[in-house]
Amino acid sequence: MKSSTGRPRGGGGGPESPAEQHQGHDAAPADVGAAGQLSYEDPWYDALASGWGELDGTGAPAAVPPPRATDATAQAADVYLEVRRGVAFQEVRSRYRRFVVPGLVIFFGWYVAYVVTAQTAPGLMARPVAGAVNVAMLAGLGQFLTTFLLTWAYARHARLRRDRIALELRWDTQELTRGLEGGER
């Protein structure tokens, strides 16, 4: 099959195969390794650097050991568990939930009421308010308005009631993990 440029398409191997379209550039030279296998000199291929794809002495893929949990990692995990159990963290979560749950219920209820009313009372939604503007258009614009209003209220609530405590909690956590292996940057 030919493409729109008149060149054959598909099933490579011919003179128009993708490997030969790179004029003046040779493919990466292949060497025969000690085990009689081809190895390609590709500086961008680093799968072997990560341990994946290497062969053990029998020719089978070598098993990649799982990462070890170091003592410092265990200590850092203990720090985060301690912080999570702390009063400050629980207070931040509680303040978050006290805003988000009622906000979600009210907004979702408003959205469902809009959709259900549009389906069950099309006469009400088609009632003109001013010129070509009807109740459905005002309710739809009200959806956008409440979305922006809820976003503004959430950002204000976070700024005034949670951010300072969360920042102090983050700072304390970083101080506790500083000095642990892997805790410094």
**Amino acid letter, 153:** A
pLDDT tens, the chain, 185 aa long: 555 555 555 555 555 555 545 454 444 444 555 555 555 555 554 555 555 666 677 877 777 666 666 677 778 888 888 889 999 999 999 999 999 999 999 999 999 999 999 999 999 999 999 989 999 999 999 999 999 999 999 999 999 999 999 999 999 888 888 867 554 44
Output the pLDDT for position 77: 83
Six token digits for residue 117: 């009313």
List, in sequence order, every residue forming a beta bridge with 31; answer none if it has no partner: 39
Integer Cα distance of 66 and 73 in angstroms:
14
Integer Cα distance of 182 and 37 in angstroms:
39
Place of tokens 């300072």: 164
Identify whether the C-beta of residue 78 lies closer than 8 Å to the C-beta of residue 173. Answer: no
Identify whether the C-beta of residue 182 lies closer than 8 Å to the C-beta of residue 79. Answer: no
List, in sequence order, every residue forming a beta bridge with 40; answer none if it has no partner: 30
Half-sphere exposure at residue 74, Cβ-oriented, CA atoms within 13 angstroms: 5
End-to-end CA distance of the chain: 57
- Which among 112, 113, 140 is positioned nearest to 126, based on CA atoms? 140
Output the pLDDT for position 126: 92
Output the pLDDT for position 57: 72
| 152 to 74, 107, 155, 165: CA distances (angstroms) | 40, 14, 5, 20
Output the pLDDT for position 64: 65
Output the pLDDT for position 41: 58
Half-sphere exposure at residue 122, Cβ-oriented, CA atoms within 13 angstroms: 1
Output the pLDDT for position 134: 94
